[in-house]
Structure 1
């Protein structure tokens, strides 16, 4: 089935710039989020839910440079740069510092770009450069692609939960598609994709997805090099002890939110190294994404799909020849699948957001509940197809998670 995507009347609010999205959706002007002269509340340390698995978590970041292609958004950059972050079961955590959700330079750039006050962003459950736990053999690998304008930390609660259950998760910053990315020399790259409008949304988004798929192929190549003992980090910074040979690249999954979900479906169509995928609330913008594959892909959506999104998901169901499942999260919105489902409520006092404004953005399910339900089904899906471990959670409705609606 060939599907041609055409523009439809809808609000263009797909940029995943965390709290800036909250302000836009609630009608508050981003540049004046905190009025002059307003009482400044003492910053509260934002927190994320702790991982539910038994494994302690380590993390490390790498700066990758693909010399075979230019940057897709900045014409005078002759090479494509990426930042990736590996999250993995750790053998030990004592003496290794906790990893921040955003680096300090990226956090300040993020706040400045979005007219936000200085926040005290979360500290993750992972420890920087902790040694890799090798007990249990090689680990299945899962890639993560963020939404348009987001960053690799947007789904940290979900990512570190997967790592605590024994996965190696690789989060990708698609530089200049991402909102803010700090490079090892300390400078911060910001988004360079032109603003979306009705007459360019499809063309720009399709172009972005294709660039992201090329990023994904390159990252998989570099993971193979790491597994063989090479160090592809551009600055040749030391890699964590035990990383060599720890990756099972015959068991590779991928997931992403919004345009990251589109990237997942497209990449699965073109790269057979990715054996399992999950699309979190993404419209399938490209023909390749909607064409499906012969491998399992979970479509995990908000309570009510947008019209165009529903059309692309229906096309996928027709085209796809592998196992598939479609779930909807009752009471949710597009934002319920990321960390800011919980962070927005914590930021509300400083931003002056009302309960109704919070609900408008993250839905009636509540952030804490959303970030409890979503990982359970993401874990179960990857467990079924990457580990052949069936918990039966995916067999049908569960009294434990009544918010999940099975569509297919």
Structure 2
């Protein structure tokens, strides 16, 4: 379920990059893009989507992976509703980020992709568009990506949530992926990759990400927010979702920060156990078929509203853009979810969860299996089919 060792996360990251290229083929409107141009499926909500990036610096904290760097620098992408009618679509990644992602993957099948291939991916969000909404009217969802993967790996989900009226903050956890580009052109690579064989590596990543997330929330919802649309965010309605180790970081973040009212772990092993005292806020586990014992270990420690969903046919990258995109590029990882199905399911169930817990809207989809989504199993120990 999770990428426990360096080669596995790197492999999926590379796959992710490749996937991004494919994204364009999944959405069929003729005007969407020229043939062969990768693009992400159109968001399903009623709002147009804007996006922007923030460079945040925590001067009170040295970098956990490069101690010589005395401040923790983060890049954050925001996706949000906009009334803008036109504008430039945001890039998926830069050409150099694309090159580093593909090179870092170590996957031979990806060598046929041009180094800048991922940077050609067509997205749906308008770059630096004016945010729209009423003061404190928009719930916030924080996204944390898998190890070695950038914040862009969850763009398809982020755009969809923004189109449904959420602000979404995707965090690049610096030095934990193959490429984070800062506004002055500096590129931070994966310094943390040198530590993956340490016994406590997973726990270190999780604790660091919890601190990163708390800092980002402070900067977005404080009295002087770092984003011009910060006043639109409702600080009483915040959720967090993450993929792989980003998902494993969600419970720790919730335990450290009561502002995060609800959380989702998408296919991440829980390297840091939930304490015996439990986690009483809403939580959803959503992943590929697996025998991951950490989910069974911590299931009873989820003492609030809870769901355990297993998606038949899914792979680890199925909860990012990458399963879909790689298929479009002709790379077969063995996924049972064809065309856009992996992203469709992720979008649908994540949206239902945050609509229920941040907006109080009933979601029958989360109460029982759905005939429209037969791949999704409702599980709880000791269910044998999960």
Partner of 2:255: 269
Q: Distance in 1 between matches of 2:162 and 2:359?
A: 14
Whole-Å separation in 1 of the counterparts to 2:355 and 2:244 = 22
| Structure 2 unaligned spans of 5+ | 19-33, 381-386
- In structure 2, which of residues 14, 19, 40 is the aligned counterpart of residue 19 of structure 1? 14
- Aligned mates of 2:245, 2:262 — CA distance in 1: 17
Distance 1:359 1:153, change over 3 A: same
2:200 match: secondary structure:
helix
Distance 1:93 1:108, change over 3 A: farther
Instruction: Give the direction of change, closer, same or farther, for the CA distance of 1:295–1:186 in structure 2 (3 Å limit).
Output: same
Structure 1 CA distance for aligned equivalents of residues 192 and 273 of structure 2? 21
Query: Is the CA contact 1:138–1:247 (under 8 Å) kept in the aligned structure 2?
Result: yes
Does residue 83 (structure 1) correspond to residue 75 (structure 2)? The answer is yes
Give how far 1:114 is off. 4.1
Tell me whether 1:286 sits opposite 2:286 in the alignment: no
Q: Following the alignment from structure 1 to structure 2, what is the Cα–Cα distance between the partners of residues 10 and 132?
A: 40
Measure the CA separation in 2 of the matches of 1:214 and 1:163: 24
Q: Structure 2 length as normaliser, TM-score?
A: 0.85
Deviation at residue 270 of structure 1 after TM alignment: 1.8
Deviations 1:277-330 (A, max 9, x none): 11000000013478641100100010x21x4x2x21112212122111000001
- Contact persistence 2:55–2:75 (CA under 8 A): yes
Q: For residues 106-146 of structure 1, what are the alpha-carbon distances to aligned partners after superposition, in whole Å with 9 as ceiling and x for unaligned?
A: 22333344464321531211011111112596100000000
Structure 1 residue 184: Cα displacement: 0.2
Counterpart position of 1:378: 350
**Match for residue 153 of structure 1?**
152
Within 5 Å, give how 1:4-403 maps onto structure 2: 13-15=8-10, 17-20=12-15, 44-94=36-86, 96-114=87-105, 116=111, 117-118=114-115, 119-120=117-118, 121-134=120-133, 138-195=137-194, 200=198, 202-225=199-222, 228=223, 230=224, 232=226, 243-288=229-274, 292-302=278-288, 304-305=289-290, 307=291, 309=292, 311-348=293-330, 353=331, 358-360=332-334, 363-403=335-375
Change (3 A) 1:141 1:320: same
Instruction: Report the 3-state secondary structure (helix = DSSP H, G, I; strand = E; otherwise coil) of the residue aligned with 2:191.
Output: coil
Alpha-carbon distance between aligned partners in 2 of 1:251 and 1:55, rounded to the nearest angstrom: 19
- 1:265 shift after superposition: 1.6
SS in 1 for 2:241: strand
Q: For residues 270 and 186 of structure 2, what CA distance do their matches in structure 1 show?
A: 33
Q: Number of residue pairs matched?
A: 355
| Higher-RCO chain (CA-CA 8 Å, sequence separation at least 6) | 2
Secondary structure, counterpart of 1:300 in structure 2: strand
Q: In the aligned structure 1, how far is the partner of 2:372 from the partner of 2:74? A: 40
Give the alignment's Cα RMSD to 1 decimal. Answer: 2.5
Q: Structure 1 pair 244/373, CA: closer, same or farther in 2 (3 Å)?
A: closer
Rounded to whole Å, the distance in 2 between the matches of 1:196 and 1:12 is 12
For the residues of structure 1 that align with 2:194 and 2:122, how far apart are their CA atoms? Answer: 31
Which residue of 1 is the match for residue 29 of structure 2? Answer: none
Tell me the distance in 2 between the aligned counterparts of 1:16 and 1:220. 31
- Flag as ranges the 4+ runs of structure 1 deviating above 6 A: none
Contact 2:12 2:317 in 1 (8 A): no
In 1, Cα distance between the equivalents of 2:171 and 2:85? 24
Structure 1 residue 21, shift from structure 2 partner: 7.2
- For 2:180 and 2:276, the matched residues in 1 are separated by 30
CA contact (8 A) 1:16 1:150 kept: no
The answer to whether the 8 A contact 1:140-1:247 is kept is yes
Question: Contact (CA 8 Å) 1:19, 1:340: kept in 2 or not?
Answer: no
Structure 2 CA distance for aligned equivalents of residues 143 and 186 of structure 1? 25
3-state DSSP class of the match of 1:158? helix
Give the TM-score, by structure 1 length. Answer: 0.81
